Amino acid sequence: MMRILITGANGMLAKSVIKRLGNEHELICTDATELDITNQELVMKKVAEIKPEYIVNCAAYTAVDKAEDDYELADKINADGPGNLAMAAKEQGAVLVHISTDYVFNGELDVAKAYVEDDEVGPVTVYGKTKLHGEEEVKKNTDKYYIFRTAWLYGDGNNFVRTMLKLGQAKDELNVVSDQHGSPTYAEDLANIIAETIEKKIPYGVYHTTNQEFTTWYDFTNKIFELANIDCKVNPVSTEKYIEIMNIKQAKRPKNSQLSKDKILSTGITIPTWEDGLKRYLEVELNK
Ligand SMILES: NC(=O)c1ccc[n+]([C@@H]2O[C@H](COP(=O)([O-])OP(=O)(O)OC[C@H]3O[C@@H](n4cnc5c(N)ncnc54)[C@H](OP(=O)(O)O)[C@@H]3O)[C@@H](O)[C@H]2O)c1
């Protein structure tokens, strides 16, 4: 049993992490009111009091579009925050588990390929830039870290699947982007990777951690409707067309969010496919 500090405890991923780690470990769960990760003095004090063996940072500024006009706050939460946690973890000899994103890449890689951990980064959004800065702050301040880059996350919180279930029941027809490629990732499966990391003590470093296999938002939506028995026509549209039809302004979305899992799989940790994750999620979601 480990003593583990969880930050951002009300977030979507945090809920799954708390559920998964709660039976085996002693958890100290803190939300933004109890532990604002941007407050360096408080972070140092709290971590020194709690003396955790692990810190799992689930806190983040995740509003991708809003971040475009909110660089300062996004950077404070996504970069200063993890930097503070890394510093405090080092002082206490704790291990930091930090969550990052595919948005650290520019998303322009040929879709026949998936990004590996050492590929050149080059974020093109404010959110991506601040998350990359967060990775750098972690690496600068401690050697005992795991940076898990994930993508297309869904779980107990507002997410794409919930939105599609609602829209699919309300409409006869929907336009969904078909030229962005990635792996939908069930928060419970990422929480399991975190639990297994702690159990197996895999080597520190950066890992890509999404569900297995790749799809597009369009194919993902069709699968959601098929599994949920929703009769709604899905029209595939390009990102450009979608922006035009919806008349919206949005931060640039990566065309290629595909992350190779070869490195994490080589540690012996197993990861289910996105379709398997979706089936388990819908069993919970549709029986509420
Ligand atoms: N969602 C995705 O599709 C996705 C994709 C790739 C990577 N990720 C990464 O995965 C991680 C988890 O994402 P998520 O979707 O679970 O995020 P989330 O639901 O937005 O949760 C983030 C939590 O952080 C808290 N928080 C914000 N500022 C804080 C501060 N200064 N101190 C402490 N807590 C603070 C928020 O609290 P309040 O709500 O009270 O502000 C919220 O509860 C993040 O690192 C994110 O960047 C997510």
* CATH T-level fold of 3-158+184-213+256-273: Rossmann fold (3.40.50)
Q: Which of 160, 263, 261, 270 is nearest to 219 (CA)?
A: 160
> Ligand 1 pocket, 153 CB below 6 A?
yes
Residue 145 annotated in active site:
no
Could you give the C-alpha distances from 252 to 34, 58, 209, 248, in angstroms and in order? 34, 24, 22, 12
Helix 81-92 and helix 40-50: axis angle, to 10°?
A: 30
Count of all residues that appear for the chain in the document: 288
| Per-residue model confidence (pLDDT) at position 113 | 98
Write out residues in the chain with pLDDT < 70, as ranges.
none
Q: Where are the domains of the chain?
A: 3-158+184-213+256-273
Pure H helices in the chain: 12-22, 40-50, 64-67, 71-75, 81-92, 126-141, 160-170, 187-200, 217-227, 239-246, 262-265, 274-285
Q: Which helix (H) or strand (E) holds 55?
A: strand 54-57
d(CA 94, CA 141): 12
Overall pTM surpassing 0.95 (yes/no):
yes
Helix/strand/coil for 161: helix
- Under DSSP, the state recorded for 32 is T
The residue type found at 148 is F
| Per-residue model confidence (pLDDT) at position 288 | 84
252-265 pLDDT tens trace: 999 999 999 999 99
Give me ligand 1 centre to Cα 112, in Å: 30
> Ligand 1 pocket, 77 CB below 6 A?
yes
Among 58, 135, 183, 206, say which to mutate for ligand 1: greatest number of ligand atoms within 8 Å of CB: 58
Burial category of 59 from C-beta neighbours within 10 Å (exposed 0-12, middle 13-18, buried 19 and up): buried
Backbone φ and ψ of 270, nearest 5°: -105, 150
36-60 pLDDT tens trace: 999 999 999 999 999 999 999 999 9
| Per-residue model confidence (pLDDT) at position 170 | 97
- Under DSSP, the state recorded for 102 is G
Q: Which atom of ligand 1 is nearest to the CA of 157?
A: 19
